[in-house]
Structure 1
Amino acid sequence: MRLLVLSVALLACVSMAGCASNSNPVAALSIKPSAETTSSVSKSAPVPAVEVGESAIKGGQETLAWAGAMPATHAFDAMTETQAVVPEEKPARGLLNMSRPLPKRSRVYSQQFRDAHPINFGKRAPKHYQVHGVDVSRWQGNIDWARLRTQGANFAYIKATDGGDHIDPMFRKNWDGAKAAGLKRGAYHFFYWCRTGAEQADWFIRNVPRDPDALPPVIDVEWNGQSKCKKRPSRAVVLEKMKAFMDKLERHYGKRPIIYTAPDFYEDNLTGELKDYPFWLRSVAAHPSVRYPNRRWVFWQYSGSGLSHGVDGRIDLNVFAGSEDEWHNWLAGQSS
């Protein structure tokens, strides 16, 4: 009897071992994926969570603000304007929008500009940079954008607004003309120290369309002796006003604004500040590394006396900091 029991037990053990050895090891180790999702950063371009500054929409297209009324200014219930306007979240920067195809690389033209007052910049001269561009306003009059592009204007920053109630009368024409000619173009705002940053942001947003292919918006901060506003706020107030303006623009356009400035204003207010913002630096007598030590930059304005076919009179000349490939990569990162 004991022998019979042991035999049955032995046969059962062998049978079970055989089943295990013949099973599929992949099936044995396969585990159904968890339904949980991670909190990883989305690879899509940032989408503003809140609309800041209403845009006039007509027929599915954004129209410019001069067709409508000025938005109501913000009510401030605290001592500082930033407390009332700084968004709770900032969109992620530099992420490609994977839902849209990468933009086609546009041709980069070599610069053929001249200068009414040429400067010897030494070994780090503007001519050694591959991607050149211009910035314009009403003072350039009627521009032949197609001709200007072939002269080396691969990008253009276009004056849009001042303060909280002025728009450059040539903005709309220049904005449309630059795009039609194939330039990469963006808009800039001249900051007025006698208004709040929130008011000025609303005015810019109301007048500059939200174009996913546009360059990041620019805040132009400098001391202007010809302005009716004679205020020169403290560094703390300057930074507070700038942040209020830039936070609203970043929330609306989904792109971190670029700061344009000049040496005297920079020394008074921006040395060592705002290190996580891109800079566009004016330096018409020396390389930016001389005027702005240890400051990284995206654009360098090297002349205010440029000459070119396609525009009457003088025009500001600029370069992009990197190579042609780096230019295209940077543009792809700005697409939203």
Structure 2
Amino acid sequence: MKSKHIRIIAVLVSAALILTGTAALLVYHGVILLNSPSETEYPVRGVDVSSYQGEIDWGVLSAQDLDFAFIKATEGSSMVDHCFAYNFSEAQKCDISVGAYHFFSYDSPGVTQAENFIDAVAPFAGMLPPVVDLEFYGDKMKNPPDRKSVARELNDMLSALEAHYGLKPVIYATEKSYDLYLSGAYEEYDIWIRNVLTEPNLSDGRAWTFWQYTNRDRLPGYDGEERFIDVNVFNGNREAFQQYPRYVSNGGEAQRLP
């Protein structure tokens, strides 16, 4: 009797391991998404892309119920994404809102990072606010820079971008980088938060504006080194998104709307 119980337990454990492994593989390959936000609650959706998505057919990609796209422009003080010019130009031909983002470097002055972005990103009427992507790279997760030094360079960059484009930038962050560098501060800036496991719950209780809910979706329209694409939602309805600040030109000066 005892050996029979042991065999039953062994079978159940094996079955559980197989199911767990199968589920993990389905998640890894993007068949199952851990987050699936309600389209009723979050009807405004978009992607963010870089050269990792390779050649993008914007007509095909944008036709998949997307409302916006943020495109990687620059990184640090000198790097320009080699697909940016094409992506930025072609995306503007589609019926979606378009913006550009910068991958922030902890090893470079904020002023020169802003200059790099400004040199690469020519504003156009209707452009979404510039985005500063504040996350970790290399060994920065294990050895994060101190908050004071990051704030100094980040503040310089944000100020320079706002002065040039007339729009307060959006700050993208993971929940860890948010807690380390943004929590309790930067209230005047909209937050684009990454959480691919659950709905975001920011440690200081503030609301987010954009949410990157998955980095493992697969959509027709691109063919690159990266098989997956990041998908995001806006925290509001379509009317609110239409009223969201965009670049407009008035005598050569940028203005924040509405």
1:307 aligns with 2:218: yes
TM-score by length of 1: 0.61
Q: CA deviation at 1:232?
A: 3.2
Q: Post-superposition shift, 1:292?
A: 4.3
Q: Which residue of 1 aligns with 2:237?
A: 323
Q: Which residue does 2:87 correspond to in 1?
A: 174
Which residue identity lines up with residue 163 of structure 2 in the other structure? R
Maintained 8 Å contact 2:35/2:214: no
Higher strand share: 2
Does 1:272 find its partner at 2:184?
Answer: yes
Residue 212 of structure 1 and its aligned partner are, at CA, apart by 2.9
In structure 2, distance between residues paired with 1:325 and 1:160: 28
Residue 116 (str. 1) matches residue 31 (str. 2): yes
**Contact preservation (8 Å) 1:193, 1:231:** no
Q: Aligned match of 1:240 in 152, 157, 169?
A: 152
**Secondary structure of the corresponding residue to residue 327 of structure 1:** helix
What is the aligned counterpart of 2:167 among 245, 255, 269? 255
1:190 is aligned, of 84, 96, 103, to: 103
The Cα RMSD (Å) is 2.1
Determine the C-alpha separation between the residues in 2 that align with 1:226 and 1:134. 27
1:2-41, aligned counterparts within 5 Å?
none
Paired position in structure 1 for 2:209: 298
When Rg is computed on C-alpha atoms for both structures, the one with the higher figure is: 1
Q: Secondary structure at the match of 1:119?
A: coil
Check conservation: 1:220, 1:260, Cα contact below 8 A.
yes
Contact 2:35/2:213, CA 8 A, preserved across alignment: no
Pairs within 5 Å for 1:76-225: 115-120=30-35, 125-127=37-39, 128-225=41-138
2: CA distance between counterparts of 1:120 and 1:322? 18
Unaligned runs of 5+ in 2: 1-28, 249-254
CA separation in 2, counterparts of 1:196 and 1:174?
27
Q: Percent identity?
A: 36
How many Å apart are 1:126 and its aligned residue?
Answer: 4.5
Contact persistence 1:193–1:233 (CA under 8 A): yes
TM, length-normalised to structure 2: 0.78
1:278/1:297 contact within 8 Å kept: yes
- Code of the residue aligned with 1:250 in structure 2: it is E
